[in-house]
């Protein structure tokens, strides 16, 4: 978007416009956003140019025969030449250029004939007898910072992680996973939590209601943590994983069951979304994964509070 405005600025004691005089002199001034230089650091940005042509002859009217900025597309100095400016008076024009992106700024910079990140354009005013005055303002274009990574949308369920050792290993390799009552630090422990039976231990002993509720929520929370770590996908609310970890450290079985449903829903929410660029899940090897698993849980000896 480009806008143009102009005005005549009078000094004290000047009453009107005179006709052409034998001698002419002008000085010019050009600014962009109030100065001789301006660096564009964010977008969109507006470049506000001001051009001032002043009759600098000590006694006579001066007539400009041209006033132009060759590289500023769409700009036309007003009033058009030839135009007589009385002693001590000035003609000022303004012109705005809106740059929406770094690419638009770079295109502007290239338009002055030099391929770089600076736009150097000269405003020139001429008058009879070969006289001229020039003035310039420089705009430099900063590279637009890359947009922040798009919020992840992909998720996967326990069934994916329990069969994809490579994917689960990438998650575990990012650091221990706090699950409130246990910490998962190895791929064997992670696979054990995913492959074990919620109702009983590997020995065949039955899990208590508390241990079963913890196990189910812990499994879903492990998976949710991996979805956040690997894909950048956050649950709603964003505190859901922390809430689950806090509940796992307690004995409120009703709360754990409610949170298990919420966390499981999160893990299913983006199961049909593609992986982020660069992520490699590796092959599905269910039997190998099952054989590697080592259930990290053990009887707590505790009982449920808050219902069962």
Q: Where are the domains of the chain?
A: 2-141, 158-292
pLDDT at 263: 97
- Owner of token pair 């005089």: 21
> For the segment 13-57, what is each residue's pLDDT rounded down to a tens digit?
333 333 333 457 999 999 999 999 999 988 899 999 999 999 999
**Residue 26, CA distances (Å) to 53, 87, 131, 282 in order:** 7, 10, 9, 74
pLDDT of 16: 33
Distance CA 158, CA 155 (A): 10
Instruction: Give the chain's mean pLDDT.
Output: 89
Q: pLDDT band at residue 78, thresholds of 50, 70 and 90? A: very high
Q: What's the confidence (pLDDT) of residue 22?
A: 42
Alpha carbons 255 and 261: distance in angstroms, whole number: 10
Percent of the chain past pLDDT 90, that is, above it, reads 76
Q: What pLDDT digit, counting tens, does each position of 182-225 carry? A: 999 999 999 999 999 999 998 999 999 999 999 999 999 999 99
- Residue 308 pLDDT more than 60? no
146 band by pLDDT with thresholds 50, 70 and 90: low
Tokens of 128: 């009879």
Q: For residue range 222-277, what is the model confidence (pLDDT) as tens digits? A: 999 999 999 999 999 999 999 999 999 999 999 999 999 999 999 999 999 999 98
* CATH 2.60.40 applies to domain 2-141: yes
The C-alpha R_g of the chain, in whole angstroms, comes to: 36
Lowest-confidence region among 25-29, 111-115, 170-174, 277-281: 111-115
Distance of CA 78 to CAs 64, 91, 92, 161, Å? 11, 8, 8, 70
Distance CA(297)–CA(281), nearest Å, equals 27
| Cβ burial 252-272 (10 Å sphere, 16+ → b, else e) | bbebbbebbebbbebbebbee
For the ranges 141-155, 174-188, 196-210, which has the lowest average pLDDT? 141-155
Say if residue 4's pLDDT is above 70. no
Q: In what order do the strands lie in the sheet with 45-55?
A: 2-9, 90-99, 45-55, 26-32
- Answer yes or no: is pLDDT of 149 > 70: no
DSSP string for residues in 198-227: TTB-TTSPBPPHHHHHHHHHHHHHHHHHHH
Mean pLDDT of 152-171: 94
The rounded distance, in Å, linking the Cα atoms of 153 and 236 is 12
- Compute the distance between CA of residue 67 and CA of residue 7 in angstroms, rounded to an integer: 14
Residue 174: helix, strand or coil by DSSP? coil
152 confidence band (pLDDT: 50, 70, 90):
low
Most confident region among 100-109, 139-148, 211-220 by mean pLDDT: 211-220
Contact 248, 260 (CB under 8 A): no
From 16, 19, 81, select the one nearest 53 (Cα to Cα): 81
Torsion of CA 235, 236, 238, 242, to 10 degrees: -70
Mean pLDDT, residues 148-152: 52
């Amino acid at each position: 978007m480009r806008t143009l405005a102009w005005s005549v600025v009078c000094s004290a004691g000047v009453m009107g416009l005179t006709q052409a005089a034998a001698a002419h002199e002008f000085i010019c001034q050009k600014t962009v956003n109030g100065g001789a230089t301006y660096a564009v650091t964010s977008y969109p940005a507006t470049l506000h140019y001001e051009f001032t042509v002043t009759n600098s002859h000590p006694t006579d009217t001066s007539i400009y025969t041209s006033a132009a900025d060759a590289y500023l597309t769409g700009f036309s100095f007003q009033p058009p030449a030839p135009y007589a400016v009385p002693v001590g008076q000035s003609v000022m024009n303004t012109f705005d250029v809106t740059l929406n992106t770094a690419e638009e700024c770079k295109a502007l910079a290239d338009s002055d004939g030099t391929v770089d990140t600076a736009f150097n354009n000269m405003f020139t005013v001429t008058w009879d007898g070969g006289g001229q005055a020039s003035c310039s303002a420089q705009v430099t274009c900063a590279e637009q910072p890359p947009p922040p990574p798009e919020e992840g949308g992909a998720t996967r369920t326990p069934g994916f992680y329990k069969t994809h050792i490579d994917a689960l290993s990438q998650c575990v390799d990012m650091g221990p996973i706090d699950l409130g009552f246990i910490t998962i630090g190895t791929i064997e422990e992670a696979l054990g939590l995913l492959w074990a039976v919620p109702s009983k231990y590997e020995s065949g002993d039955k899990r208590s209601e508390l241990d079963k509720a913890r196990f189910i929520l812990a499994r879903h929370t492990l998976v949710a943590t991996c979805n956040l770590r690997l894909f950048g996908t956050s649950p709603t609310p964003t505190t859901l994983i922390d809430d689950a970890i806090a509940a796992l450290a307690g004995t409120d079985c009703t709360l754990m069951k409610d949170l298990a449903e919420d966390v499981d829903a999160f893990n299913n929410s983006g199961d049909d979304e593609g992986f982020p660029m660069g992520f490699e899940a590796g092959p599905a090897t269910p039997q190998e994964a099952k054989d590697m698993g080592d259930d990290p849980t053990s009887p707590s000896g505790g009982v449920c509070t808050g219902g069962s």
